Structure formats: structure tokens, C-alpha cells
Amino acid sequence: MDINLNRRDFLLTVAAATLGIAAAPAILSPAAYAAGDFPDKPMQVLIPTGEGGGVDQAARAFDRIWSKYLGANFEYSYFPGASGQVGYEVFISKREPNAYNILFGNIGPEMIMYATQKVNYKYPEDFVYIGSMDVDDSVIWVSADSKFKTIQDLVEEGKKRQITLSTSRLPHPSTIGVLALAEATGMKVRMIPYGGGGPARSAAITGEVDGCATFLSTSLGLGDQVRFLTVFNNKNIAPSLTNNAPPVNQVFGTKIPPMSGQRAIAIHSKAAKAHPDRVKKLTETMKQVFSDPDYKEVAEKAGTPWEFIQYGDAAACDESAREYIALADRYRSLLTATK
């Protein structure tokens, strides 16, 4: 076959290919907009952490199904930095409060950040959570070849010397869990922030630190490279995935509250007041996702076991947010540079 492109044809082909690539997200996505109805344009999702992180994966998985019920596509932007503060600041000060702009975050770490850092916004005056989609417990794990076989081993060693545990960032529920455990048992521990989950996990696997304190879901992909020692909740909801690691209170008789992450959706408080109908649609369609059989498959593909998936309404999110603010206040001196 003889192909003979002249300059005009070539330029048209290039233009068509460029348009094709640019339009790929729209072509491949399911939503079609009804004029006048909310939403009649794509939802803008702001993620206060980096691309490829746990929140990003969970958000994309959830939104894939949510778009069916909401009738909208989702466009993402990432504003990591200062433990999530950058993302929240951008959301509050630079995004229009119209319910099209939503923030997909993680209540635990981000409310601890809110309580311990000097931020330019207020909860719940500036933003509210309208619903959460999972409960991800904090855990302590060590490398599979570590000498620590149980959490008791780690605590005993911590009475003789200072234990080091990696974490993505200091303002994190797992940090508070570890500090509470240290306070209760006399273990000496130092949390080492790595600025991201990946480097924190890598440091524990490669032996730079004794272990890692983080959320469970982000470590499940590590398989038999790690040994889970304990879970910061009253019940281990995924024993088969965590070598049956015991709940911390069960081992030490402590009363440490559950230290979990809850991935949740926030909107501007102004939007909630000005557009109650839109918020109603968002929450109602959000609930529908949990009964969709496709969501189980998509969530598990994104690395969240189905056992973790759990809907929480606005009231439950608010209660959780306030609990973390109180916990952060209690451990402020250890989470910040203040003495």
C-alpha cells in the first residue's frame, strides 16, 4: 500500500491525534451532563497529598463508581506539603465554594495537622466533611527478618534503648498511638518522619529503623516482607491479612482509643449553606456507591480490603474530627517543636 501524506494532511493528522489525546479522559469516562441539573460540569477533586498515594488511589476507586450515580466526571489536582496543610489552604482560599469543588482527604492525620500547625482556616467554619468511605486502622509492623516477633518484644527492647519507628509525617494517628503506647508501657520511642508513605515503608524494610507505624491498607501490598505486631483498634478487622496481629489494648490492658484513618470528602461550609440541594445530591449518591457490587472490585484493586470499607455520615465524620483535635492537643508537645 502506498501512503502519501502531503503537508496539509500531515498537520491535520497531528492535530487530530493531539485532540484525541486531550479528549481521552472525556471519551473514556461514563458521565453525560444534563443541562441545568447539578452537576452540569466535572467535579474538581483536590487531594492534599501527592499523586499515587493511598488517598489518591482510594479517591479514584470511589469516584469511578460515584460518577455513575452522580452523573459527573472527576478532575484531580494535587497539593501536597506541610502534612496536608497546603492542600487545605488552597481549597479554602482559592477554590470557589460551589459544591463542585470537593476535597478528598483523610480525617485523622489532617485534623491532627489542623490542631498542631498554624493554619489560616477554621473547622467547621470553613469546611465540613460530608461523608467517609473507610476505616483504616493504624498498625506497627517490622521487617520480616526483624528480631521482634511480637509487640511485647518491641516494647521490652524499648525499655532498654530507644526504638525508632518510621512514619510518613508526625501529625498522624499512628504517631499518637505509638506515643500513647510508650506512655503506658515505659517504652522509649522516637518517631522518624520521612515525608511520605513510600520512603517510610522503605526505611523499615531496609532496616534503617526498627519498624514502621502507619495505616494498615498502605502496607498490605508488601506481603511477606513485613510482620505486623499490633493494631490500634479494639478488634483486628483483617486478621488474615496481618498475621493475626493482636489489638494493642488486648496485649497491654491499655485504653488507647482507636487510631484510624478515615478517607473522607469535604466541602466548603459556605457551599453547604448556600447549596443544600447539591450537598443532598452528593451525600445520597455517595451512599449508593457502597451497595454497588462493582465498588468492591474497584476498591480492592486500589488496595483497600473490603473489610475496611465503611460509610460514615457527616455527623460521624464531625465526631471523629473533634476526637482527633482533642488527641492532638494532648500530645502537642511531642508532635511539634514546642517544649
Residues that bind other proteins (CB under 8 A): 21, 24-25, 27-29, 50-53, 56-57, 60-61, 76-77, 79-83, 85-86, 89-90, 93, 113, 117-118, 120, 162, 164, 169-171, 190, 192-195, 198-199, 201-203, 205-209, 221-225, 301-303, 335-337
- Give me the helices (H) in the chain, please: 7-28, 54-70, 85-94, 107-116, 151-160, 173-185, 197-205, 248-252, 269-274, 276-289, 293-301, 314-330, 332-335
**What whole-number distance in Å separates Cα of residue 128 and Cα of residue 276?**
13
Q: How far is the CB of 148 from other proteins (least distance, A)?
A: 17
Residues 6+ apart with CB under 8 A from 99: 38, 267, 268, 271, 272, 275, 278, 279, 282
Q: How far is the CB of 255 from other proteins (least distance, A)?
A: 28
DSSP 224-243: GGEEEEEESSSS-S-GGGTT
**43 exposed, middle or buried (CB, 10 Å; 0-12, 13-18, 19+)?**
buried
List residues bridging with 265 in a β-sheet.
Answer: 104, 131
Q: How far is the CB of 247 from other proteins (least distance, A)?
A: 26
* For residue 42, cis peptide bond before it (omega within 30 degrees of 0): no
* For residue 39, cis peptide bond before it (omega within 30 degrees of 0): yes
**What whole-number distance in Å separates Cα of residue 258 and Cα of residue 302?**
24
Q: How far is the CB of 268 from other proteins (least distance, A)?
A: 16
**CA dist 69 to 93, 128, 244, 282, 327, Å?**
29, 22, 37, 9, 37
**What whole-number distance in Å separates Cα of residue 43 and Cα of residue 317?**
21
| Residue carrying C-alpha cell 524499648 | 158
Lookup: cell for 135: 476505616
Q: How far is the CB of 101 from other proteins (least distance, A)?
A: 13
Our CB check for other proteins shows the closer of 52 and 276 to be 52
Q: How far is the CB of 44 from other proteins (least distance, A)?
A: 11
Q: How far is the CB of 239 from other proteins (least distance, A)?
A: 20
Our CB check for other proteins shows the closer of 162 and 244 to be 162
Our CB check for other proteins shows the closer of 180 and 205 to be 205
Q: How far is the CB of 135 from other proteins (least distance, A)?
A: 20
Q: How many helices (H) and strands (E) does the chain have?
A: 13, 12
